[in-house]
Amino acid sequence: MSEQPGVLRALWPVAWPVLTVSVVAAGIALAVEGWPGVLGALLAGVVVTLFLGSTPVVLTPVARSSPALSLPVALLFYVVKAFAAMAALLLLFDVGGVADHVDRTTFGLVAVACTLTWTALYLRAFQRARVPTYDLDNSP
């Protein structure tokens, strides 16, 4: 478990701008849609950060401990996240009248903006990490 603080520390430079995008979008949504837009923007930022941030937190320790298991665990985790995303969206917009208080258009637009921001920043961070794609193992 000693990898976890390093993984979380590595995610912070990516998560911080994504949350900033959602806060800026919430300010714009306040002017355009009112409080439902603000709730939609902030909720989208939190949902994107949790879903995209959970992948490296779960998979990095697995890949370090057993590279052979990293692909099956990644596929299983992808399926679990897909069902979790469906369940989260169902709970957010169909149960308890949440849909009356959250602007869906703002939620969708901010979720897309946060996802694109996360992807671009994480790609940049990965490129700068200079992690070898494969190891030739010094054999001919």
Q: For all residues of the chain together, what is the average pLDDT?
A: 84
pTM metric for this prediction: 0.77
- Identify the band that residue 3 occupies on the pLDDT scale cut at 50, 70 and 90: very low
The tokens for 34 are: 């009112």
* Residue 135: inside a domain: no
pLDDT value at 29 more than 60? yes
Whether the CB-CB separation of 106 and 36 falls below 8 Å is answered with: yes
pLDDT value at 11 more than 50? yes
pLDDT digits 0-9 by tens, 41-95: 999 998 898 888 888 888 888 888 888 888 999 999 999 999 998 888 888 777 7
- Which range of residues forms the domain containing residue 89? 3-127
More confident residue, 11 or 45: 45
Whether the CB-CB separation of 47 and 111 falls below 8 Å is answered with: yes
* Residue 139: inside a domain: no
* Residue 136: inside a domain: no
* Residue 68: inside a domain: yes
* Residue 55: inside a domain: yes
Share of the chain above pLDDT 90, in %: 35
* Residue 89: inside a domain: yes
* Residue 137: inside a domain: no
What's the total number of domains in the chain?
1
* Residue 27: inside a domain: yes
- Spatial neighbors of 106 by CB under 8 A, at least 6 apart, are 25, 29, 32, 33, 36, 37, 40, 41, 44
